[in-house]
Structure 1
Amino acid sequence: MVVIKGIEYYLPKQIELNDREDKLTAKIGIRQRHIANKDEYASDMGVAAANMLFEKNDINRTDVDYLIYCTQSLEYYLPTTACILQDKLGLSTSIGALDINLGCSGYVYGLSLAKALIETGQAQNVLFITADTYSKFINNQDRSVKLLFGDGATATLLSADSNKYGLQSFVFGTDGSGMNNLIVPAGGLRNPISESNKREETDSFGNVRSNTNLYMNGPEIFNFSLKEVPKSINNLMEKEGTTIEEYDYFIFHQANQFMLEHLRKKLRIEREKFSIQVDDCGNTVSSSIPIALKRELINGKIRKGDRIMMVGFGVGYSWAASSIVWHE
């Protein structure tokens, strides 16, 4: 089996508060978000998280033989940021290193890649880093996304272990027809940044943005999540031959409290078995599941032998579900 040997996370020091008197703040359950400094980028946060992982868990960086980096906040078209991270972290030049461009489902996808690499003998110890700075895409006058997203990074080490514990089954889903419902329309080669793309417009709700900013169609994302997440969970349980009652804890992508509570109630999951960790950091995209997992471990909500379900869903559309039997 493949187990998680350690998780650490990094949140930028700069904090933005949501207005407590705002009805939307109460609805989404996000009191504050951590925002990267102007000269602080996703890979910088990834380095900080990885160094914390090595230092706090007595992990030797020379043991790492593969690096996976998940981000949608690329600093360069090329080179691959994972190559830059290899150098900044002082890792061996004999390791494999690659980027995956995924958002809310990225952590589960990355775990599946790490599991495959280790179980096929291609690697022994995989360092998996997630990091995003969505704040750099967001127009400050666009409340539809500004109040939701925070910046952050995580580092996870995965290794082989000769027992029954560890990562279990995975199921995946993709529907690119929903691409325009969560997107930064301009900035790539197909639609480069231009004066016309930088022109700001105001929508019917008073939100201001340009094509170089993040756009989210909230109602469509909500409907997609309520439709596909339960299906994905049912597919996972069918694959594992389990029922919802056999899982000890649930960690979903931390989109916002409103969406999480709707999913929890729809799936009839007990509140005490369900993680909600958005109050002080918001939606940290691919880092949201590992941040919640680390916090619930610290809180004592997860113990050795517990079967945990993890579900990521969002931008793409992309979604994935998996389970892990905790080993520590």
Structure 2
Amino acid sequence: MEAYIKHISCYLPTGSLSNDEIATRFPEWDSEKIIQKIGVKSRNISDENQFTSDMATEAINKLCLEYKIDKASIDYLLVCTQTPDYYLPATACIVQNKAGLSTHCAAIDINQGCSGYIYGLSIAKGLVVANIAKNVILVTAEMYSKHIHPLDKGNLSIFGDAACATLISGEGSFRIGEFSLGSDGSGAENLIVKNGGMKGNKIADNDVPNDNYLYMNGPAIFNFTAKAVPELIDSTFQKNSENLDSINQFIFHQANTFMLEYLRKKITIPKEKFLIDMENYGNTVSSTIPIVLKNQIDSNSAQDKILLAGFGVGYSWGAVVIYKQ
């Protein structure tokens, strides 16, 4: 039995943060510098009273409306997030209720970030192939904006908020191939929020950067990525009996354009095969890959063989080839 990506829908919150707004706060960090270093012009930002369960529910509702999906047919819900509403209960259980899914629908959280879409697809495929579930919705929902201190101009420039809902089933638009996955927790402290919980993470007056907020060691993350990703791509080629020439498109986690261009050149991927689509979204963590894939599908630009690769926080990494049907 095979598993397929059947449909994808994405939800972007209505709030936004432009480069001009960031430059107004930080005059030394002008708009053109942000474009050159990161490749982002604007990013969607959730409002103060909007949380991950809200965005996830919006994405599911949009998916079901857009593709006329009967919610009663969904029998497994995976919510991939590193910005849960609470430490407990699972955000997935809250979303099951908010979205009006059946009480016969299983619901679990996956605490995974930049590789989360790939990890989520691997779990969803396993559920379908093992006949544990017939229709799995994988939601990737992140609001890193609530993890970022207002004085952290670097991370403010990088990250945006978004949620995507992907339906995985026994039939669909893209067959899910074989996975290559890995992790190395020795790098955990290089991208971390030591304290947290979205609904308890309120910014106090005269607050200064501390362990309640996102810390990222950019150079360490870059060095990890430069080493791990080329090896990941080679492993994924082997597991799917593919190569650089046979893959039509590459969709990597949209970390920032500098890193993406570095990886593209190091792996020698032709520019026309390598998709970068983050200018209007920023780095939306686990939602970057489905946003790019959704845009390709909607524009009829998705090709026959697409390699998806995620990497980052954890450290963790994963890749898979999907095949257009």
Q: Deviations over 1:160-207 (max 9, x none)?
A: 0399x600000111010101110112237xxx99xxxx962xxxxxxx
- 2:120 and 2:279 mapped to 1: Cα distance? 25
* Contiguous gaps of at least 5 residues in structure 1: 201-208
- 1:68 and 1:187 mapped to 2: Cα distance? 22
After superposition, the Cα gap between the structure-2 partners of 1:162 and 1:21, relative to the gap in structure 1 and judged at 3 Å, is closer
Q: Is the 8 A contact 1:134 1:151 kept in 2?
A: yes
Q: Which residue number in structure 2 is paired with residue 309 of structure 1?
A: 307
Q: Which residue number in structure 1 is paired with residue 92 of structure 2?
A: 82
User: Which letter maps to 1:24?
Assistant: I
Q: Which residue number in structure 2 is paired with residue 7 of structure 1?
A: 8
Alignment of 1:20-169 (within 5 A): 21-161=31-171, 166-169=175-178
Q: Is the 8 A contact 1:275 1:296 kept in 2?
A: no
- 1:114 and 1:186 mapped to 2: Cα distance? 30
Q: Deviations over 1:20-47 (max 9, x none)?
A: 6442332211000111000011110111
- 2:184 and 2:161 mapped to 1: Cα distance? 26
- 1:17 and 1:161 mapped to 2: Cα distance? 40
- 1:223 and 1:297 mapped to 2: Cα distance? 32
User: Which letter maps to 2:68?
Assistant: D
Q: Which residue number in structure 1 is paired with residue 253 of structure 2?
A: 253
Q: Is the 8 A contact 2:139 2:163 kept in 1?
A: yes
Q: Deviations over 1:90-123 (max 9, x none)?
A: 1111121100000000000000000000000100
- 2:172 and 2:230 mapped to 1: Cα distance? 32
- 2:156 and 2:134 mapped to 1: Cα distance? 40
Alignment of 1:149-298 (within 5 A): 149-161=159-171, 166-187=175-196, 200=208, 209-298=209-298
User: Which letter maps to 1:210?
Assistant: N
- 1:6 and 1:242 mapped to 2: Cα distance? 25
User: Which letter maps to 1:184?
Assistant: V
TM-score (normalizing by structure 1): 0.91
Q: Percent identity?
A: 47
Shift of 1:71: 0.3
CA RMSD of aligned residues (A): 2.0
Q: Which residue number in structure 2 is paired with residue 325 of structure 1?
A: 323
Q: Which residue number in structure 2 is paired with residue 206 of structure 1?
A: none
After superposition, the Cα gap between the structure-2 partners of 1:17 and 1:199, relative to the gap in structure 1 and judged at 3 Å, is closer
Matched position secondary structure for 2:109: strand
Matched position secondary structure for 2:158: coil
Q: Deviations over 1:245-267 (max 9, x none)?
A: 11011110010111111111111
After superposition, the Cα gap between the structure-2 partners of 1:252 and 1:59, relative to the gap in structure 1 and judged at 3 Å, is same
Q: Is the 8 A contact 2:19 2:157 kept in 1?
A: yes
Q: Is the 8 A contact 1:175 1:318 kept in 2?
A: yes
- 1:277 and 1:241 mapped to 2: Cα distance? 27
Shift of 1:86: 1.0
TM-score (normalizing by structure 2): 0.92
